[in-house]
Amino acid sequence: MFTGLVSDVGQVLSIEDRGELKRIRIATSYDVKAIELGASIACSGPCLTAVEFGSENGRNWFEVDAAAETLARTTVGQWRVGTHINLERSLTIGAELGGHIVTGHVDGLGVIEKRTDFDGMAKFDIRAPHDLAKFIAEKGSICLDGTSLTVNSVEGDVFSILLIPHTLAVTTWGERKDGDKLNLEVDLMARYAARLLQAKD
């Protein structure tokens, strides 16, 4: 489980094809000696398993294996050497829950339709997959590329978010532009509420 509060921005150092898997090495500022083998790390949304650690040219790194399902249903298949990635280590008992409960299971891909910059901030209009739009509500929570965000407005399948300068500076959002695809995870409570209503009917 995660909170959607990004604690590091990593960078893809290498991608190695291994049949249907891709072994991806990601540079990080995390102390890799403190990460256990098999630990879960949210990598721009998807929860991936750390399978190897090390240091290269003074930079710490960890490696993850991305399977065919992850490559097909998330933006991981589009990553290239140099791609920046929002990172978050898994939630520990007693830790501050500053975002919202995030599972690291990507539901689909959103697409940025329009970015509007003003006063150091940025407003993003994002189109959600039609079957997920019903789970997105004004003032509700949503996780995009591993970042817990508040929905400002909703109109059909398009919703908007507003990012403050701090978020733009400490995540990959400062690089995002029109047409970019985003890993989207709907709010867990919205999903269960919809399921309960469906079961009631």
Q: Which pLDDT value is given to residue 195? A: 66
Question: Is 147 marked active-site?
Answer: no
Q: What is the CATH number of domain 108-200?
A: 2.40.30.20
* Residue 43 annotated among the catalytic residues of the structure: no
Average pLDDT, integer, range 48-72: 94
Q: What is the pLDDT of residues 163-183, one digit of tens each?
A: 999 999 999 999 999 999 999
Model confidence at 200: pLDDT above 70: no
Q: Is residue 143 flagged as an active site residue?
A: no
Contacts of 110 (CB under 8 A, 6+ apart): 126, 127, 128, 129, 144, 181, 182, 184
The whole-number pLDDT of residue 58 equals: 87
Nearest 5°: CA angle at 150, between 144 and 153?
105
* Separation of alpha carbons 19 and 22, rounded Å: 8
**What's the pLDDT band for 5 if we cut at 50, 70, 90?**
very high
What is the pLDDT, as a whole number, of residue 97?
65
| The two domains 8-89 and 108-200 share their CATH topology (first three levels equal) | yes
* 27, 42, 43, 47: the active-site residue: 47
User: Among residues 14, 29, 55, 67, which one is catalytic?
Assistant: 67
Question: What band does 148 get if pLDDT is binned at 50, 70 and 90?
Answer: very high
Phi-psi label, residue 4: left if phi above 0, alpha if psi -120 to 50, beta otherwise: left
pLDDT in tens, 103-126: 899 999 999 999 999 999 999 999
Token digits of residue 156 = 């059909």
* Class of CATH domain 8-89: mainly beta
pLDDT at residue 77, rounded to an integer: 95
Catalytic residue, candidates 7, 49, 90, 167: 49
pLDDT band at 151 (very low <50, low <70, confident <90, very high): very high
Active-site residue, from 2, 53, 62, 135:
2
175 three-class SS: helix
Active site residue 172: no
Q: In which band, very low, low, confident or very high, does the pLDDT at 96 lie, cut at 50, 70 and 90?
A: low
The secondary structure of 14-56 as a DSSP string is EEEEETTEEEEEEEESS-GGGSPTT-EEEESSSEEEEEEEEEE
Would you call 29 a catalytic residue per the annotation?
no
Tell me how far apart the alpha carbons of residues 155 and 103 are, in angstroms, rounded to a whole number: 26
pLDDT-based confidence at 188, cuts 50/70/90?
Answer: confident
- Ranges of each domain in the chain: 8-89, 108-200
Catalytic entry in 29, 116, 150, 153: 150
Look up 130 and say whether it is catalytic: no
Among residues 55, 95, 105, 130, the one annotated as catalytic is: 105
Q: Say which residue, 125 or 191, is predicted with more confidence.
A: 125
Residues 6+ apart with CB under 8 A from 54: 32, 60, 61
Q: Is 49 a catalytic residue?
A: yes
Q: What is the pLDDT of residue 198?
A: 67
pLDDT band at 57 (very low <50, low <70, confident <90, very high): confident
